[in-house]
Amino acid sequence: MTLPSPLPAFPPARGKLIPGAALAPYTWFRVGGPADALFLPEDANDLAGFLAALDPSVPVTALGVGSNLIVRDGGIDGVVIRLMGRAWGEVMKTGELELTAGAGALDLAVARAAGKHGITGLEFLSGIPGSLGGATRTNAGCYGRELKDVLVRLEGITRTGERRTYGDGHGAVHFSYRHSDLPEDFIVTRLVLRGTGLDDPAEIAAQIDALQARRAETQPIREKTSGSTFANPDPPGTPDQRSAWKLIDAAGCRGLKVGGAQVSPMHCNFLINTGEATAADLEALGELVRARVLEHSGVSLRWEVRRIGRLQTA
């Protein structure tokens, strides 16, 4: 549904509401069309009030820092909600091994904050360049740990503006490999996370630095990318686990190009925008890779990067 022009009246809110906002600058790939409207709520009360009063037919989509997204060239229907600013990025120590953090906090900032308090077990988050909201939705993980392993409780707001808590004696969320069963239009607002023990803060900081350095050597983190394009066909822990990048490499796709999109020569499960790519280029390249891998090895790769929004119409 594209909103009619002029736009319908939106409910009053303290945060910023930007009609027709460009979304490409908010994504790592730097592609995609505009949102019908972008809402940057000031805090959870602002967001809950806005959603409760918003016409129920208007779709709502959460956007984190866009590190796991292709926003299609036609843009996104309805209201896109982004949790930006200090209120959403706060990280506080709330127990011996516990942190409470806004869903807009960067995973790296959370790992570093845990380290400063000497809390171990959250270092893996430093390898994921997203926000906690995105990490929750995708059950992000690396180095053998996932968000679900450190999550105590999460809070959020439903499409109708109702506040909900999951975990720790409240309703359960089911997490699996790079997936959660949270309702698609549920906005995660805050999390309580728990580490596994205590250690010297300097030691934890050194471990995070080492993880960051390793990433920079093996992944195209300075490119316009989105991380792993396809999920590994077998979840972590499977004996003789097949990895997506090896299948892509074996199918001869390293460096393959469509328009301005390219399979990264450095890590072939990453697509990159070499400068002028459109979302359509990236998606077409991904589909070409899937077809070649299927032909070469019989494996049907599943997109891990989320593709959202409308295709561009001529």
Ligand X SMILES: Cc1cc2nc3c(=O)[nH]c(=O)nc-3n(C[C@H](O)[C@H](O)[C@H](O)COP(=O)(O)OP(=O)(O)OC[C@H]3O[C@@H](n4cnc5c(N)ncnc54)[C@H](O)[C@@H]3O)c2cc1C
310 belongs to the catalytic site:
no
Known catalytic residue: 228? yes
Member of 103, 109, 211, 261 binding ligand X (CB under 6 A):
103
Residue 128: closest CA among 68, 194, 206, 188: 68
Residue 131 appears among annotated catalytic residues = no
Q: Can you tell me which of 3, 150, 187, 251 binds ligand X, judged by CB under 6 A?
A: 187
269 binds ligand X (CB under 6 A): no
Place of tokens 């490499």: 249
Long-range contacts of 218-222 (CB under 8 A, 24+ apart): 218/266, 218/267, 219/266, 219/267, 219/270, 220/264, 220/266, 220/267, 220/270, 220/272, 221/129
Please give the Cα distance from 311 to 184 (Å, whole number): 20
Catalytic residue among 67, 226, 228, 264: 228
Cα–Cα separations (whole angstroms), residue 185 to 30, 57, 58, 157, 181? 23, 12, 11, 9, 11
The answer to the question of residue 61 lying near ligand X (CB under 6 A) is yes
| Closest approach of ligand X to the CB of residue 44, in Å | 11
- Residue 29 beta carbon to ligand X: minimum distance, rounded to whole angstroms: 9
User: H-helix or E-strand containing 226?
Assistant: none
Return phi, psi of residue 243, to 5°. -110, 145
Please tell me which residue in 72, 178, 194, 290 is annotated as part of the active site: 178
Q: Which is nearer to ligand X, 225 or 278 (CB)?
A: 225
Member of 133, 195, 286, 309 binding ligand X (CB under 6 A):
133
Task: Decide: is 272 part of the binding site for ligand X (CB under 6 A).
Answer: no
The 190-229 site mask, x for binding ligand X (CB under 6 A), equals -----------------------------x-x---xxx--
Nearest CA among 150, 162, 154 for reference residue 181: 154
The answer to whether residues 148 and 155 touch, using CB atoms and an 8 Å cutoff, is no
Stretch in the footprint of ligand X (CB under 6 A) among 126-134, 198-206, 236-244, 271-279: 126-134
- Residues in the site for ligand X, rule: CB under 6 A? 28, 61-69, 83, 103, 127-131, 133-135, 137-138, 140-142, 187-188, 219, 221, 225-227, 306
